[in-house]
Chain A
Amino acid sequence: MKISPSSRRLLPWAAAILLSVAVTFGIIEATRLSLEHDYQDTLKTEATRRGFEVMAQTMNGNVMGAVSALGLVDQPIKRVARGEIPLNTPVVMESLQAIGQIYEANGAYLVNPDGIIKSSWDTVGVPLTGVDVNFRPYFQIAMQGKQNIYAAIGTTTGMRSLYFAAPMYGEVSTNAPIIGAVVARLGLERVDSVLRAWSGPALLLSPQGLVFASTREDWIESLAGQCTPERLQAIRTLKQFGKIFDSGTPRTLPFDLTSDIVSIENRRYAVARTQLQWNDPNGPWTLVLLGDLDRLMPASLRTKIGLTSGLLMLTLSAAFLIWRQRLRFANQERQRAEAELKESAYKVRESKERLDLTLGATGIGIWERDLHQHTLTWDQATQAILGLPTEEMSGHREIFLERVHPDDLERMREETRQAIAGVRDYSTEYRVIWPDASQHVVATRAVVLRDEQGVATRMIGACWDITDTKQREQLAFLGSEVGDALTSFKPIQERLQLCAEALVSQFDAALARIWTVNEVESILEMQASAGIHSQTDGTRSRIPLGQFKIGRIAQEGRLRFSNQVGAEPDVDDKEWVRQHGLVSFVGHPLIVEGRVVGVMAFFSRTKLNPDAVHALAGVAKTIAVAIDRDRAERELEEAREAAEAATRAKSAFLANMSHELRTPMNAILGYSEMLMEDAEDQGQEDFIPDLQKIHTAGKHLLGLINEILDLSKIEAGKMDLFLESFDVAGMINDVASTLQPLIEKNANTLQVHSAPELGSMYADLTKVRQSLFNLLSNASKFTQNGTITLDTAPVLRDGVKWISFRVADTGIGMTPEQIDKLFQPFVQADASTSRKYGGTGLGMTITQHFTRMMGGEISVASEPGAGTAFTVLLPAKVEIKPEAPVQPEAAEPKLPGLNTVLVIEDDPGARELLTRFLTKEGYRVETAAGGEAGLRLARELHPDIITLDVMMPGMDGWAVLSALKADPELADIPVVMLTIVDNKNLGYALGAADYLTKPIQRDRLLAILEKYCPASEPATVLVVEDDTATREVIRHLLEKTGIQVTEAENGRVALERLALGQPTLILLDLMMPEMDGFQFVDYVREHEAWRAIPIVVVTAKDLTPEDRLRLNGYVTDIIQKDARGQEELLAEVSKMVKIRLKKSALKTGDGSA
């Protein structure tokens, strides 16, 4: 080629121009490529972000959360699944409906394990219940324990829907068996909104390549890629997309989505894909974004570059400048995308929280705990349930722990630890205290998530408020506790206090109080208060009826209940309410038979369920009945006391009257007797019969007075029983002979029939005799020229021997009406009787009293004109009933060892006889010849029992007895009075244990001694003393009194002895080698088994206050050796040992009783 010189000159320019054009184009192209490359990266990020958003709206979204939570925790739904409640139970429908409405679903339903829809809610109107969805992948996947999103086109409706499906568990644990599936069906709005948010075209592809959703309407339901018959067949088989491919050839997308850059309608687009894990068995779904590449380098820019290509440098620099600018722009673009990605991650979480807000509508909160960061994330429902701060939705776990009731905190933490350790599921209940101080009960269940190594990383849980349920439970507990409290044998105040305390402990009351109505003063008196205040005498202790809240409850007889005490006009101290976090108030009137007897009221920190509050009426009723019964009992008791007081007053009056009557009787009888003696002396015998009449009349009158006195004694409770053994036949003969003159007076004859084997009876002789006197004199009084018979015979009743005394006469007899009045005091058969026959009419009453006192009974059979027969039946061995007036000294456990009897007797012969007899019987006998000596010996020896003669010179038996009983150390020694003077009355009154008349019946005495000193195991005493001589002396002294002794020369040896066997008592010296007394005591007290052994310390050490403090509470007695003579010291030791042994024996006796 020939080049002209001009051309050659132009060539560089041309070349330069060409070059510059080429370079310019090159630069333009390089810029474009670089921009496009950057943009594709950006687009990918964008696709990932949009993918997140779709997942946040579907798989990780609030709908799925709600569906999963329902499947995990909803109890009513489970009960349906288990067939416990019907399908259309409102509570189930409510849950489904809530899901449906809140998430704008068009259907929600429950599927049983067989794939049959059991319960459903929908807006479409096509009934779902009963439909078989067993073949549906969403059901099958859910049954495998996986939640999943299933996108499909309805066969009949042609509607595109998303099915949110989750497993339904039999219990609140993901380890529980799956009993079905929960499904919600939604339109595509959520996906569409994500797609539309993209500036360019976007589409959602099924695993088979079907366009399920797109920003371009015309692309929807097209196929990406080539439409082969195989693909068509596969899609048809799925039945996932209705009938769209059943006929004809489906549309295909006019571009190839597998390339990175496609050309659509003469524009170039970059393609970015991201996969969606919806747990579709056919594989992941794909979200595709198309980004417009042409917009990166518009044509005007290119023209401009072309136009300036003449100026290379300029162009270059311009191009360079542009390149730089574009680079910066691309970077900015990428940074923005990344920022948005971050934001979208936040949105994922936010959408999750939105889910939980909706779960909140069903009362379930969802929370998540990061086990590495110790942070907690929660939703609004959880926030509401736990009372967490409203401004944050996550934070350190402490924020939550602060809310937990301190009493439940440790337990909850332990349960958390166990769940994390995999020991057990996390499923617990605890109380939380809100910032307003109100208290709520929360149940929570959680699953622990672990990484591949099995290390726990997160906990995800659901929680809900169970305060209501708890209250029903508590109500049941409360009922039983109140029942227990009220049936206890305690004063009513204590019982009511227990009820108030039960309200506090079982019903979470902060302050529970009970008032009772005082009708006289028209006020309410506080009887019980528990909780914040426990005193009943402060403010509101007396409330006038109708005043304040409590007074009005009582007046109106109506329940008052509020769950917002802070806002109640009745509550005057709002600050107090706020300070204690009081939320609710309940005041129940306590009503019995329409009468208000009190008010039960309490404040609580918990909102109360109205049902539970109304159910408390049952508890209120129980309390009311108890209060009313107590009042009735008290009134009865008061009435009884009044009646008794009246009886006592009457008796006192009668006693006084008797006294007043006796004084002139004294003169009448005395003077008439005197005159008779005078008449006799002076030979004026003719006066005697008249004087005799005066005397007889006086005697009669005295008899009447005595009867009145007897009765008043009985009624005043001052009549005592003096039981003794006596021969029945002998007593009968005695009575018969005494009464003979009286019987003969009315020309009657007395026939006595005594059974041959009557034997003896143990009863109050005087009273038996007096009863027979009364019956016989009564019989003779109402009989003329007749026969009176006294039949006495033994009777066996329930294997016990009784004696029957029957007094029959042939006299005037009685009508049934007269018999009725027979035993009433001061009432005679009729008024005329007293005029004709005289008497006080008390005889029968007294006889009946005597008979009953002895545990017997009296009966009567009579007919007018045919005579009367009285039968008195008495036990052959009368026992004193507990309520009987005389209480003989209770037999007490005996001092182990030989029993010591102290015989106090002035007559040497009698003393000798007793000593010999008792020694032979195995008693250790000590004697004293007189009262003073007896008392001294009693103090020294502390004998087990004392026999005491009454008639003694100097200090007599009565004085000794009084002195013995007045000395607290001796008062518990039983004393048997031995005397020729029959004065049991006095003996018992002074505290004698028993009373024997001389000559002493030996077997009787033995029986008494046996009763008060039963033989028992000998006592053992461990003597711990380093001085051999002292030890020996003590041993002798104790062994002489029948006590076994073991010895130890120091504390250490003593411990060895203790290990071999426990003594009854330890006698302990303090200052000893090796181990001293103090150390020994410390050791002994550390042994449970040894702690109860009494320790008596015998020491010469001057004990300092510190010493005493050290021994205090551990040592029973301390005997100081000080300056006393050995004899005196030994006596003291011996006495103390005996007292302590006796006391420990008593204690043992108590324990086994």
Chain B
Amino acid sequence: MAKILLVEDNEMNRDMLSRRLLKKGFELVMAMDGEQAIEMARTEAPDLILMDISLPGLDGWEATRRLKAMPETQAIPIIALTAHAMAGDREKCLEAGCNDYDTKPVEFPRLLEKIQGFLAR
């Protein structure tokens, strides 16, 4: 089963999203900030990363840039999740190297579709 790294600092959201994904049968690993996310991506080699953008310390954009710069994590698809929905947010995510982007609150079926889209490749 595919392994997903969920990077989210808000505990409630992390809990909620992880449980829903687990229910869909994914294997879940979690990180609470950018540095942890990079560490987990390297050690856990997930199939996909769900990346919250507003993170304490190293934010999601920077974490993504670093992940995409490292050969061993470069190929892992990253879907950015952000509560920001200002014009330019999406561009910033994609510029940083995210493969896709979704706004919070997530519409779970849509997110699921995106996840499955990347995993199917």
Contact = CB atoms under 8 A, between A and B. Distances in A.
Interface of A: 655, 658-660, 662-671, 673-674, 677, 702, 706, 709, 713, 716, 718-720, 958, 962, 983, 985-986, 989-990
A962 B97 CA distance: 12
A675 to B, nearest CB: 10
A990 B88 CA distance: 10
Given A658-B83, A989-B91, A670 B16 contact: yes
14 contacts: A658-B85, A659-B84, A663-B10, A666-B10, A666-B105, A667-B12, A667-B16, A670-B108, A677-B23, A709-B86, A719-B87, A962-B95, A983-B90, A986-B90
B105 A713 contact: no
Nearest to A956: B99
B20 A718 contact: no
Contact of A985 (B87, B103, B106): B87
A659 B17 contact: no
Interface string B80-121: 000111111011001100000001111010000000000000
B83 A659 contact: yes
Contacts of B16: 666-667, 670-671, 674
A681 B19 CA distance: 15
Given A670-B17, A718-B88, A986-B91, A702 B105 contact: yes
Given A658-B83, A718-B86, A986 B94 contact: yes
Given A666-B13, A674-B16, A713 B87 contact: yes
B73 interface: no
Nearest to B19: A674
Given A670-B20, A989-B90, 6 more contacts: A659-B83, A667-B12, A674-B16, A674-B23, A713-B86, A718-B86
A702 B104 CA distance: 10
A954 B26 CA distance: 26
A1046 B84 CA distance: 60
A694 to B, nearest CB: 13
- Which 9 A-B residue pairings sit nearest by Cβ, starting from the closest? A666-B105, A718-B87, A662-B83, A670-B16, A659-B83, A667-B12, A989-B91, A666-B104, A669-B105
Contacts of A669: 105
A706 B84 CA distance: 11
Nearest to B92: A989
Contacts of A673: 20, 108
Contacts of A720: 87
Contact of A990 (B13, B84, B85, B91): B91
Contacts, number: 76
Interface string B17-44: 1011001000000000000000000000
Contacts of B87: 713, 718-720, 985, 989
A659 B83 CA distance: 5
Contact of B106 (A655, A658, A670, A671): A670
Nearest to A719: B87
Contacts of B17: 670
Interface of B: 10, 12-13, 16-17, 19-20, 23, 54, 83-88, 90-91, 94-95, 103-106, 108
Contacts of A713: 86-87
A502 B74 CA distance: 68
B23 to A, nearest CB: 7
Nearest to A659: B83
Contacts of A986: 90-91, 94
Nearest to A673: B108
Contact of B85 (A671, A709, A989): A709
B13 A958 contact: no
A207 B86 CA distance: 117
A665 B85 CA distance: 14
A662 B104 contact: yes
Contacts of A962: 95
A983 B16 CA distance: 29
A716 B83 contact: no
B83 A985 contact: no
Contacts of A670: 13, 16-17, 20, 105-106, 108
A659 B105 contact: no
A673 B84 CA distance: 22
Given A666-B106, A670-B108, A958 B85 contact: no
Contact of A663 (B83, B85, B90, B108): B83
A664 B23 CA distance: 21
A713 B105 CA distance: 18
B85 A667 contact: no
B104 to A, nearest CB: 5
A319 to B, nearest CB: 139
B13 A663 contact: yes
Contacts of A659: 54, 83-84
Contacts of B90: 983, 985-986, 989
A985 B10 CA distance: 29
A137 B20 CA distance: 133
Given A667-B16, A670-B16, A958 B94 contact: yes
Contacts of B88: 718, 989
Contact of A655 (B23, B86, B104): B86
A144 B100 CA distance: 109
A667 B104 CA distance: 10
A1066 B104 CA distance: 59
Highest count of chain A CB atoms <10 Å: which of B83, B90, B91: B83
B84 A674 contact: no
B44 to A, nearest CB: 23
Contacts of B12: 664, 667, 671
> In the complex, which of the residues B83, B105, B106 has the most CB atoms of chain A within 10 Å of its own CB atom?
B105
A713 B54 CA distance: 19
A208 to B, nearest CB: 116
A982 to B, nearest CB: 13
A541 B88 CA distance: 47
A663 B94 contact: no
A702 B88 CA distance: 21
A674 B22 CA distance: 12
Contacts of A671: 12, 16
Contacts of B103: 662
Contacts of A660: 83
Contacts of A718: 86-88
Contacts of A985: 87, 90-91
Nearest to A712: B86
A719 B88 CA distance: 10
Contacts of B19: 674
Contacts of B85: 658, 706, 709
A133 B118 CA distance: 123
Contacts of A665: 104-105
B13 to A, nearest CB: 5
Nearest to A677: B23
Nearest to A989: B91
A666 B83 contact: yes
Contact of B13 (A667, A677, A983, A989): A667
Contacts of B108: 670, 673
Contacts of B13: 663, 666-667, 670
A895 to B, nearest CB: 30
Contacts of A666: 10, 13, 16, 83, 104-106
Contacts of A990: 91
A662 B86 contact: no
